Amino acid sequence: MGAGSATIAEAYFGRNVKGRAPVTDAEWARFMTEVVTPAFPDGLTVLDGAGQWLNAGGRVSREGSKILLLVLPGQDQAAASARLAPVTAAWKARFAQESVLTVFRAGCAAF
């Protein structure tokens, strides 16, 4: 297959959960099986991350994360966002998260 336009999507899933221990590897694996893989059966990449940000109190907060990296050939950013939205909504609902950072950019992909 030749090179063609694609959208690269990244989603950053924070593993800290207020009032309980962080999301476990087993919980992540179950989320992958039940939610992520059915949404993106053609393939994906997951990376471990260690994020940090300045919280409202002026202190640095740190959190382990999972980074979902998707290369979506032939899809524009609106289509990629629409496909990813149910996955991020499921994460927020399942683990009481306020948000999932998502990044979309145009790219060129060849397989």
Q: What is the CATH number of the domain that holds 45?
A: 3.30.70.120
Residue 79 structure tokens: 């289509």
User: 12-68, pLDDT tens digit by residue?
Assistant: 999 999 899 999 999 999 999 999 999 999 999 999 999 998 888 999 989 999 999
Q: How far apart are CA 100 and CA 105, in angstroms?
A: 17
Q: How far apart are CA 99 and CA 43, in angstroms?
A: 24
Residue 27 structure tokens: 């919980």
Q: How far apart are CA 65 and CA 63, in angstroms?
A: 6
Instruction: Please count the structural domains in the chain.
Output: 1
**Predicted structure pTM score:** 0.92
Expressed as residue numbers, the domain containing 12 is 4-109
Tell me, what's the pLDDT at 111?
84
Predicted confidence band of residue 3 (pLDDT cuts 50, 70, 90): confident
